[in-house]
Amino acid sequence: MSKLIRFGISMNEQLLEKFDRLIVQKGYNNRSEAIRDLIRSQLVELEWADEDQEVAGTITLVYDHHVKGLSDLLTDLQHDFHDLILSTMHVHLDHFNCLEVLVIQGKAGDAKKVAEKLISIKGVKHGKLSITSTGKNI
């Protein structure tokens, strides 16, 4: 773990009051953690803007497993990218609908391509890439 550094920032009283109200509402215990989260969110976006940066993320897919051949196709495609997809979890939402989450780690550019490939498949009703970090640099 790297060492902790403390520094001062200034803010006019009115803005600080607004901020304090906001972070209480969001469940933060103190300003430091809320500010660190704002900073880390921005850094994660920056990491994903660089195609060659090592990142982590999730791909969420909602689909109807009754669509003929869909489950097999999804499995096949995921195996083609087994080096990027760390693991998956499957939830049976109702009689028809499945939700599948894939945890991915690798280069940002590759991760986006896998996401597009899976989301564009016919029968996948909704797909979404959610970006996060490997945690190494934040």
Contact 74, 16 (CB under 8 A): no
**Half-sphere exposure in the Cβ direction for 138 (13 Å, CA):** 20
Write down the least CB distance from residue 65 to its own copies, Å.
Answer: 10
Burial class (CB in 10 A: 0-12, 13-18, 19+), 107: middle
> For 81-93, what is the HEC assignment?
CCCCEEEEEEEEC
Write down the least CB distance from residue 122 to its own copies, Å.
Answer: 5
Write down the least CB distance from residue 83 to its own copies, Å.
Answer: 15
Write down the least CB distance from residue 113 to its own copies, Å.
Answer: 9
Our CB check for its own copies shows the closer of 10 and 79 to be 10
Our CB check for its own copies shows the closer of 78 and 133 to be 133
Our CB check for its own copies shows the closer of 42 and 75 to be 42
Q: 75 is written with which tokens?
A: 């499995």
Our CB check for its own copies shows the closer of 75 and 128 to be 128
User: Looking at this protein, which amino acid is placed at residue 108?
Assistant: A
